[in-house]
């Protein structure tokens, strides 16, 4: 299995990369800084998988194009794409939209929205016939809460992109919602450990019914109901 993951150096991306490495997959992972990727790659290899790393910024479509090409050359057609890279400027829950800077707004949309677009668009030429595409998100994209500002707006855009790609492509594209996860992106706040939700992503990629994933949202409840 050949897996492409953006934002693979930490948090959910790193946890999902390690889980697929444990399953013997080839995992191509990128991030803005390459050095942290090497630690994740070493874990993948020691677990029995294969790893390819490349520095890439999802805000730059040429970076993403090169990364997708590298992943396909190294591991063959892409069986799974996880458009995971994301940013949060400020403290979660303390960034009301009316107070946000234009710079924060622009970078949230450019990274968390346009970055998803670039990741999927540049992966399309390399997708296997039975590939799947996962877009990590959260309920904040669908259920507005005060203080999440343009981050929430950007996740709404990411989910809209998943739905539209699902309508346009012949492979299932959908959202995976792991609930509240404690990562560096969320300021290490309360939530599940990223390693705890890696199995949700593996299930969504390999076992969940394609019709449930395509254009939909798979969350912890769906996973637990399906797996007992």
- Tens of pLDDT, residue by residue over 6-34, are 999 999 999 999 999 999 999 999 999 99
Q: Phi and psi of 182, rounded to 5°?
A: -85, 110
Banded model confidence at residue 228, pLDDT cuts 50, 70, 90 = confident
DSSP state of 79: E
pTM higher than 0.85: yes
> Where do the domains of the chain lie, and which CATH numbers do they carry?
2-227 (3.40.50.720)
Residues 86, 155: Cα–Cα separation, whole Å: 9
Residue in 66, 60, 41 with CA at minimum distance from that of residue 52: 41
Let me know if 132 is exposed, middle or buried by CB neighbors in 10 A (0-12, 13-18, 19+): buried
Helices (H) and strands (E) in the chain, counts: 9, 9
Query: 124-172, pLDDT tens digit by residue?
Result: 999 999 999 999 999 999 999 999 999 999 999 999 999 999 999 999 9
């Amino acid at each position: 299995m050949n897996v492409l993951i953006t934002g693979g150096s930490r948090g959910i991306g790193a946890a999902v990369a390690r889980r697929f490495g444990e399953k013997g997959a080839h995992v191509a992972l990128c991030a803005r800084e390459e050095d942290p990727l090497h630690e994740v790659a070493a874990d993948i290899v020691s677990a029995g998988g294969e790893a390819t790393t490349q520095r890439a910024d999802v805000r730059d479509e040429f970076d993403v194009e090169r990364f997708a090409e590298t992943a396909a050359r190294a591991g063959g057609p892409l069986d799974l794409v996880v458009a995971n890279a994301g940013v949060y400027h400020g403290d979660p829950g303390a960034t009301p939209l009316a107070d946000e800077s234009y710079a924060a707004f622009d970078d949230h949309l450019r990274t968390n929205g346009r970055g998803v677009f670039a990741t999927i668009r540049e992966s399309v030429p390399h997708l296997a016939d039975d590939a799947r595409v996962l877009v990590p998100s959260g309920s904040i994209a669908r259920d507005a809460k005060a203080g999440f500002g343009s981050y929430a707006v950007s996740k709404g855009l990411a989910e809209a992109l998943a739905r539209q790609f699902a309508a346009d492509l012949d492979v299932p594209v959908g959202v995976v919602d792991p609930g509240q996860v404690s990562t560096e992106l969320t300021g290490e706040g309360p939530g599940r450990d990223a390693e705890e939700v890696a199995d949700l992503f593996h299930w969504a990629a390999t076992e969940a019914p394609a019709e449930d994933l395509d254009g939909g949202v798979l969350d912890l409840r769906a996973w637990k109901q399906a797996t007992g």
